[in-house]
Amino acid sequence: MAYKFKEEYNIEVTDGLQENYKNILEGIGEDISREGIENTPERAAKAMQFLTQGYKMDAETILKKAMFKESYDEMVVVKDIELYSLCEHHMLPFFGKAHIAYIPNGHIVGLSKLPRVVDVFARRLQVQERLTHDILECINNTLKPKGVAVVIEAVHMCMMMRGVQKQNSATTTSGFRGQFEKIETRNEFLKLISSDLK
């Protein structure tokens, strides 16, 4: 059977956003009737809904549906999780990688759920600092592990395309709870992901 990709959008939301995008395009001097632009308001309206779908998702529910009792109590690391988000200040993209570790305390979680948690919070208007905190607190509060660590490294188009226009800058944020607040545990985690950090 051939793969079929289908996206569903709220018609009322799409119509409202579409009108707003028409106004924006006209406001910057674009001819909204020309061939390359005439369907842009609808496409942009659908794209914005996709890029902000995290508002309609619950990260804790995602984790709880994939928690399993397990006696394993060593560090679990999922690194190089791609993330794409929009900064809330200019609505321009920022993107990069997230690295997550936790030390189980009676429960483990399906590994694919950690990237899904990243997506839930990234698919909202964000700042990188809050994104790091949201991911960290969700995992800590839901799994209640012995410790959790999150490091995000990202580049921001609002710094590269406008403003200071610095093309080679990257921003790193981190958060640690529980056992990861101990320097030896934190260093073990940072060593495991160090090949990915610049």
Q: Is 99 designated active site?
A: no
Active-site pick, 18, 49, 128, 179:
128
Q: Is 133 designated active site?
A: no
Active-site pick, 19, 88, 129, 181:
88
For residue 158, say whether it is annotated as part of any ligand binding site. yes
Q: Where are the beta strands (DSSP E) in the chain?
A: 67-69, 76-87, 93-103, 107-109, 125-126, 147-156, 171-178
Q: Is 156 designated active site?
A: yes
The residue among 172, 167, 166 whose CA lies nearest residue 97 is 172
DSSP characters over 117-151: HHHHHHSSEE-HHHHHHHHHHHHHHHH--SEEEEE
Active-site pick, 18, 99, 138, 156:
156
Beta-ladder partners of 93:
86
CA atoms within 13 A on the CB side of 141: 10
Active-site pick, 30, 133, 137, 158:
158
For residue 90, say whether it is annotated as part of any ligand binding site. yes
Active-site pick, 87, 126, 138, 179:
87
What residues contact residue 82 under an 8 Å CB cut-off, 6+ apart?
95, 96, 97
Q: Is 88 designated active site?
A: yes
Q: Is 53 designated active site?
A: no
Active-site pick, 90, 107, 133, 188:
90
Q: Is 87 designated active site?
A: yes
Q: Is 138 designated active site?
A: no
- Give the residue ranges of the annotated binding site for Zn(2+): 87, 90, 158
> Which residues are documented as binding site?
87, 90, 158
Which residues are part of the catalytic machinery? Answer: 87-90, 128, 156, 158
